[in-house]
Structures are given as C-alpha cells and as structure tokens.
Structure 1
C-alpha cells in the first residue's frame, strides 16, 4: 500500500484517518506483535505530552525513572538486536546533548502506575502549523527520549520552513546537535529511536506513492518488535470514506 498525499485534504479529514490508523496499529500490536507483559493503548489526551500518542506500558513498572532505560522484569519475546538488527535507509548513533541545568527530565506514568516504555507519534498538520506548535512537538519528542522512552515518529507531511529537514531533522538537531539532511526526493519520514545515553535513530525517508516500511519499536536497548505500518495503513485506508479516498489518491483509489 503506497503512502498517499495527505496535503490534498484539510486537517479534519486527515484526523479521521489519523485516528483510525492509530487504533489499527494498537490492535495489531495487542493482537500478536507484542510479547507477553506489554500492551498498546491509544491515549486521547495526556497533560504533559498532549494528544496523538500511542503508548506502551509495563504492567509491573513502578519506582523512579531517571532518564536511563531501566531493566524490565520480562525480557522474553521480541527480536534480539544482536541476532537480527533492524534495518533502515539511514542509521545514526550519537550521544545525547544533556538537558540544560534546571530543566527537569520527564518521568511519565500512566494513571494506573503502569510504566511507559515506548511511544508512537503520528504527525498532524497542526504540529507544523506555527512556530509554537512545532517547537512544542519537537520538545515533547525530545523530552520523551531524554526520559528514556523509545519512540517512533511517523511524518506523512513534507517539510515546511520550520522543518526544512523534516521533523526528524529538527529532533536530531535538538537531541545531538548533529545535522540530518532530508532527501529532496523523499520528503516524508518514519523514524525509530532507541533511547539511552547514546540515542540510535533508524530513519526511512519516503515519498508519496512508495510502500510504507515497517518500523522497529524498541522495548529496551537489546530487543524490538516490528510495527506493521503498511498492513495497518491498508486496513485503515479500506474503511476510509470512498469519496475522500478518491481525493487523497488524486482520483485513483488505491
């Protein structure tokens, strides 16, 4: 299933698909992708991180979290990085730039005290609509990684003047003070981050019309599961209203 051009419709139409895709991803993860002891939950609103968040929690988690990934009690399941490293068009590993003194690291908990270990963020037009919204999104993403949370960012929108190298370029610059150059012929981005004192980014730039690659969701520094982005996108697309499918696909439904 190719990625479509979501700039063809207004934000409200995209948000319908946005929600459907997130819930479909959650269903796929809960159905068979995640190992025992993990679950996916689509969050409507979180006071600190805002909406549009799909979170994974560790049911046995409690205690403080200081920004370094903590040992989890259940290390079964998932794919061992040492045995089958996840692949991407671009891979980078850098030391994180320390948070400025006086700025607190984020420790995020679910209301039931189930500790969060990873997040999937699906970018919306509003995240790029204005400097304050964009800065808030980038700050939120970096805050998650500084808190030791693994992260996937899916950006189906081309760069703007606020993010000439895409959302990943802005996040990577903030995290590591290193530059990432977005390929001009692949303006959309799927980026997976493995958090730690050294942060790893696996980045797949893509273009409208290209097949959507699956993304590694890190459970810890040594294990990950593949998120079936293409299959879930197709499932969400099939239930998207036909009239708007026709608009988004430029008159060719598919």
Structure 2
C-alpha cells in the first residue's frame, strides 16, 4: 500500500484517517508487540506535556516498584539498530487540537514512557500550530519520553526543511537536508539526556517502513506502519479512497 497524497483532501478527511490509523497502531501494539508490562492508549492532548499528562491515576491496589530498566521483550538497540537512512545524536487548527496520539505506559506506575504522533495539517499550516507541536515534542523529550513522529505532508513555508529540523533544530547540523525525492518524514527519538534521532525520509508512492518506538534508551519495538496504514485505509469511504488513489494533486492544490 503506497503512501497517498493527502494534500488532495481537506483537513477533515485526513483527521478521520488519522483517528483510525492511531487506533490501528494502538491495537497492533497491544496485541503482542509490546512487552507484557507496557500498554498503548490512543489519547488526546489539547495542551502541552505536563505532570497530569505523563501520569495516570494509579488504580487502588496496583502500587508497585518503579518500572524496570530493561523490558522483558522488545529489540535491543546495540544488537539490532533500526534500519533508517539517518541517525543523529544530540549535542492548531481545530483538527490538530482534536488529534490523538498513541501513548505507551508502564503498568508499575502508569507513566508515559513513549508517544507516537501523526502530524496533522493544522500542526504546520500556521505558526502557532507549529510552535505548539514543537513545544510539545521538546517537553516530552526533556521529560525523558521517547517519540515517534510521522509526517505525511511535505515541508511548507513554516517548516521548509521538514518537521524533524523544526523539532531537532541546530542538532541537525548545517548540512542537513531531506532528499529532494523523499520530502515526507518518519523519525524516532530517544528522549532524555542522551537524545538521538533515527530518521527515514519517504515519499508519496512509497511503502511505509517499520519504525522503532523506544521504551528505554536501549530497547525499542518496531511499529508496523504499513500494515496499520492499510487497515485504516480499508475503513475509509470508497469515494475518498478513489480521490486519493487518483494520483498526484492537480496544479494549484486541492
């Protein structure tokens, strides 16, 4: 299933797909991809990442020790690094506001350890939306939360070098540039002091890669983006599937 040109449809249509894709990813993670002590939830964050977002109320009787340093499962980074093109070490319109993310929490304290975000048009089509998205990413990474960001929209006037440059800033280096023929972005981040980025540029027509979602700085799970995209696509109305399957957007945009 190739990546479609989502600039052909308005933000409301992508929002509907976004909702279903987030749900499919969460289901896939909970059906055996995550180690037993972790779980995924589709959650909506209207504001930034604060203590109330990072922690859920612990159910009565569910107290326990802090989360284990090493999950019983997942892939060890040092043994099987993600197959991505670039690895870097660190030296809000209404639909964007409604958009959900997948959070990964640990059962010992129900704190967020990782998040998966799918970029919406409203995250990039105005300066306030982009600033809010970047601020949320910075807050998560600073809190030690690991991120996976998927951006199926090409760079625009507010993110001319793509969403990764907007988030990663000067740590990208002066020579950073997305390949001209791969303007879309799948990027995973290790949060905390030893931050790293794992970037795979993609394009309309490409198959989506599996991307790492880190649970700790050393361990990740591969997220089946292609399979979950296909499942969400199959639930879209036939009319809009035909519009999106018709090919590149006409000159002047849709």
TM normalised by structure 2 equals 0.81
2:211 aligned to which of 210, 215, 230: 215
8 Å contact kept, 1:56–1:118: no
Secondary structure of 2:195's aligned partner:
strand
Secondary structure of 1:198's aligned partner:
coil
Secondary structure of 1:211's aligned partner:
coil
Q: Which runs of 5+ in 2 are unaligned?
A: 92-104, 249-254
Q: Are residue 160 (structure 1) and residue 156 (structure 2) matched?
A: yes
8 Å contact kept, 1:62–1:114: no
Secondary structure of 1:23's aligned partner:
helix
CA distance in 1, matches of 2:55, 2:39: 6
Q: Which residue of 2 aligns with 1:14?
A: 14
Instruction: Give the superposition deviation at 1:49.
Output: 4.2
Q: Which residue of 1 aligns with 2:173?
A: 178
Aligned residue pairs total 226
8 Å contact kept, 2:125–2:158: no
CA distance in 1, matches of 2:44, 2:194: 30
CA distance in 2, matches of 1:61, 1:178: 44
Q: Which residue of 2 aligns with 1:30?
A: 30
Distance 1:163 1:83, change over 3 A: same
2:86 aligned to which of 90, 99, 109: 90
Instruction: Give the superposition deviation at 1:170.
Output: 0.9
Distance 1:117 1:2, change over 3 A: same
Instruction: Give the superposition deviation at 1:56.
Output: 10
8 Å contact kept, 1:37–1:74: no
Secondary structure of 2:135's aligned partner:
helix
Q: Which runs of 5+ in 1 are unaligned?
A: 64-69, 96-108
CA distance in 2, matches of 1:56, 1:237: 32
Distance 1:91 1:125, change over 3 A: same
CA-atom RMSD, angstroms?
A: 2.8
Q: Are residue 43 (structure 1) and residue 43 (structure 2) matched?
A: yes
Distance 1:155 1:220, change over 3 A: same
TM normalised by structure 1 equals 0.81
Q: Are residue 188 (structure 1) and residue 219 (structure 2) matched?
A: no
